[in-house]
A and B are shown apart, each in its own frame.
Chain A
Amino acid sequence: GDSVTQMEGPVTLSEEAFLTINCTYTATGYPSLFWYVQYPGEGLQLLLKATKADDKGSNKGFEATYRKETTSFHLEKGSVQVSDSAVYFCALSDIGSARQLTFGSGTQLTVLP
């Protein structure tokens, strides 16, 4: 079945550092890929998405590129801020009728001033 493997955390960075959170997936079809973010005390929010190979999703300075050849969707940001501290989840939605999301286990990011 479908699965998502994420870089294990926690990740601690200094403000303005470069961020990469690795995500790889296994799927039977051609899934859509997502990054969700969960800030402390809040619900899951969609951060960015990509629906086909070589698409780049971007939002709030974060980017991720759908790489079919390596089945990856790594999250990157050039300069993190303290306010980016949160848990980040990689997820996929396969082509079945329900299109339910399959999530990775999450990566806790802490950015220090």
Chain B
Amino acid sequence: DTGVSQDPRHKITKRGQNVTFRCDPISEHNRLYWYRQTLGQGPEFLTYFQNEAQLEKSRLLSDRFSAERPKGSFSTLEIQRTEQGDSAMYLCASSRRDTGASEQYFGPGTRLTVT
């Protein structure tokens, strides 16, 4: 049973460039979450998918951010016109809908550095 995987693990980009991250959840999990974690802080919720439907978005998700989950499998998170404030660890997590306590399994994260 493979866990949640994320690609790339590290990304360095110049301000103003676009970046895209990928998340592959655990195969039988139909819920997928994106979080952002800055240094010394806990993760903050960005957005949530149930299957292919994006059902909730945080106020943190500005219009430069877009996420997709075509066919309800992998997901991508794109940041357009990156800013230095976007530098953070981007975490993906997945869970099964029938797990009442919403037990989420996290990937290793993608560390974004905007120079």
A residues with a Cβ closer than 8 A to B are 4, 32, 34, 36, 42-46, 49, 51, 89, 91, 93, 96-106
Contact = CB atoms under 8 A, between A and B. Distances in A.
11 contacts: A32-B102, A44-B106, A45-B106, A46-B103, A89-B43, A98-B56, A99-B95, A99-B102, A103-B43, A105-B41, A106-B40
B101 A101 contact: no
Contacts of A98: 33, 45, 48, 55-56
A46 B105 contact: yes
B109 interface: yes
Interface residues of B, number: 26
Contacts, number: 63
A89 B42 contact: yes
A44 B43 contact: yes
A45 to B, nearest CB: 7
B56 A100 contact: yes
Contact of A32 (B31, B93, B101, B105): B101
Nearest to A97: B55
* From A43, A91, A97, A103, residue with most partner B Cβ within 10 Å: A43
Interface of B: 4, 31, 33, 35, 40-45, 48, 55-56, 91, 93, 95, 100-109
A87 B51 CA distance: 31
Contacts of A46: 103-105
Contact of B33 (A36, A42, A100, A104): A100
Nearest 4 pairs of A and B residues by beta carbon: A103-B42, A99-B102, A44-B106, A100-B45
